[in-house]
Amino acid sequence: MHSFGYRANAVVTFAVTILAVMCSIASLSDNFNASSPTAEIKVLNINWFQKQPNGNDEVSLTMNISADLQSMFTWNTKQVFVFVAAEYETPQNALNQVSLWDGILPSKENAKFWIHTTNKYRFVDQGSNLRGKDFNLTLHWHVMPKTGKMFADKIVMTGYRLPDSYR
Amino acid sequence: MIMKGLQCVSASKTPAVVVLSESMEPGFKRGDVLLLHMSKDPIRAGEVVVFDDGRPIPIVHRVIELHERRNNKTLDLLTKGDNNSLDDRALYTPGQLWLHEHHIMGRAIGFVPYVGWITIIMTEKAFAKYLIIGGLCLLVLFSQK
């Protein structure tokens, strides 16, 4: 019972178990974080709004996105992935979610931000349903920890509307 | 035994995957292990999913676009790696524009850093595999008392 092999095995098993317990505790501590995120998105301009040759509507818009996600950061947070999606419904689809912009917040200092941007990804419908369409803009965040469980949530902002005709 | 337990808890045939590429950096780096779960909740944009589109290794990317049909609730999904500039259409089977639910093997719910390097070393550097297995055999042979 005292050979090198047995001792090495016992030490390694114990070390791995302790590491696993530490990772779980680190992750659990994230649950106690009380967060108060805020966000605001203004659509400054509809740059153009056309129907593509394949029949799908496409929009290009410029937005002002500002948010404060500093309260989401804990000591166990590696980064927060944030994205803005347009959400709307059409006769054919009960739900459409199209990501327009995303970014990475690598630290708490970056988590209070303001950005003026056109949509990073193309806003294309399945079909030609966007004229006069009411849509929501949601700011989603995905907290990626140094170790453990990932958290995601969102803020929904309503009241946006696309023009009634192409331009 | 641990594998079976993990499979039960995560409701998925693959409860954990090793991150092999840099397409999700800096969030997930090569060598990290992602813990997966496949709950009945419908997939929504923003979730990190593991999908298998007939490729030899599954891919872990984020859903950036989603369309849910009103009549039968089927989903059209588009994915993209956080660190890639283009979406994944080029990775799907040629002619296929969207992923569907049956392509998704699980969604990532948690992760453990660095632990997957053992798997990467074993698969990518054959000599390491022989070294480790050879070493284990020697241990077995010489531990008889």
User: For the residues B32-39, what does the mean pLDDT come to?
Assistant: 86
Q: Say whether pLDDT at A99 is over 90.
A: yes
| Distance between A73 CA and the closest CA of chain B, angstroms | 14
Contact call for B143 and A3, based on CB within 8 A: yes
Pair of tokens at residue B45: 């944009």
**Which are the catalytic amino acids of B?**
23, 61, 88
Fold classification of A33-161 (topology level): Immunoglobulin-like (2.60.40)
- Tracing tokens 């946006």 back to the chain, one arrives at A160
A93 touches chain B (CB under 8 A): yes
Contact call for B111 and A147, based on CB within 8 A: yes
User: For the residues A107-128, what does the mean pLDDT come to?
Assistant: 93
- Residue to substitute from A93, A104, A136, interface B, most B β-carbons within 10 A: A93
Q: Say whether pLDDT at A165 is over 80.
A: yes
Helix (H, G, I), strand (E, B) or coil at B52: coil
In degrees and rounded to multiples of 5, residue B23 shows phi and psi of -75, -5
- Residues 7-66 of chain A whose Cβ lies under 8 A from any Cβ of chain B: 23, 27
- Convert A105-115 to b/e letters by CB count within 10 Å (16 or more is b): beeeebbeeee
Residues B17-33: tens digit of each pLDDT: 888 888 888 888 888 88
What residue ranges do the domains of chain A occupy? 1-30, 33-161
| Distance between B126 CA and the closest CA of chain A, angstroms | 24
The partner residues of B99 in beta bridges, in order of sequence, read: B77
Instruction: Give the ipTM of the model, two decimals please.
Output: 0.84
Question: Which H/E stretch holds residue A58?
Answer: strand A57-68
| Distance between A44 CA and the closest CA of chain B, angstroms | 23
Question: How many contacts, defined by CB atoms under 8 Å, are there between A and B?
Answer: 88
In degrees and rounded to multiples of 5, residue A85 shows phi and psi of -125, 145
B142 → chain A, closest CA residue? A5
Q: Which of A23, A97, A126 sits opposite B45 (nearest CB)?
A: A97
Indicate whether this model's pTM tops 0.90. no
Residues B131-141: tens digit of each pLDDT: 777 777 777 77
